[in-house]
Amino acid sequence: MNIFLADEQEEPLETGPIVAMAERVLTSEGLPDHTEVAIVLVGEAEMARYNQRFMERTGPTDVLAFPIDQLVPGEVPTTIANGQPLSLGDIFICPAIVRKQAEDLSVSMGDEMALIVTHGILHLLGYDHSEPVAAAIMTARERELLAKEGIELP
């Protein structure tokens, strides 16, 4: 797995656990070794700009995912010919918002970040939560993946 992580926020964060979680989720989902994902950690102001520009929503959010292709949840995408990497897309995470959510939920920052990384990757893999049935499927898959990590969130 190739996880490209850029920490563009003002307060640096230990990125090793984020990369490791992303790799484990991709492996659990059956993705090939030449899969690529970019993760960018941004501050609240930048996330608010992205949220407004791409989602037409005001204020920062915890995570935004931009898949390269529209995939079907639960189906492993086919590999690209000529041995090229399988690029899934980009995930933008705002650790400041993740930290606030962790505090609000009385969970650790690490557990909440694991959820957010998992959530972002599932979006790249075609999962969605815009409708109740799709949201239930996505939430169930998140919980299954987090349970493998020994994480149980409220």
Tens digits of per-residue pLDDT, 126-144? 999 999 999 999 999 999 9
**Class of the domain covering 2-75+84-148:** alpha beta
- Tens of pLDDT, residue by residue over 50-107, are 999 999 999 999 999 999 988 878 777 765 656 678 899 999 999 999 999 999 999 9
Q: In the chain, what are the domain boundaries? A: 2-75+84-148
pLDDT > 80? residue 124: yes
What's residue 85's pLDDT?
82
3-state helix, strand, coil in the chain (%, to 5): 45, 15, 35
Nearest Cα to 63, choosing from 51, 49, 45, 53? 51
Q: What pLDDT was estimated at residue 82?
A: 62
Q: Rounded mean pLDDT of the chain? A: 93
Look at residue 84 in the predicted model and tell me its pLDDT: 77
**pTM tops 0.75:** yes
Beta strands at 86-93 and 63-67: parallel, antiparallel or unpaired: antiparallel
